[in-house]
């Protein structure tokens, strides 16, 4: 019985670490894309005519 619980906890820990890494990578990628998009908007604001 204890081995089964250990295996389940091990699997849950592995999944948690994997999801955390994927979430971190996605967050960093989104942040970089937002910074690039903002820089492009700021660079092109002088070209906007009202």
Q: Is the pTM of this model over 0.85?
A: no
1-50 pLDDT per residue, tens: 789 899 999 999 999 999 999 999 999 999 999 999 999 999 998 888 87
Query: How high is the pLDDT of residue 35?
Result: 98
Query: How high is the pLDDT of residue 49?
Result: 80
Query: How high is the pLDDT of residue 24?
Result: 99
Query: How high is the pLDDT of residue 11?
Result: 93
Residue-by-residue DSSP string for 2-50? HHHHHHHHHHHHHHHHHHHHHHHHHHHHHHHHHHHHHHHHHHHGGG---
């Amino acid at each position: 019985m204890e081995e089964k619980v250990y295996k389940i906890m091990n699997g849950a820990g592995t999944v948690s670490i994997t999801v955390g890494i994927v979430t971190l990578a996605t967050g960093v990628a989104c942040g970089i894309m937002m910074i690039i998009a903002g820089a492009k908007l700021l660079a092109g604001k002088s070209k906007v005519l009202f």
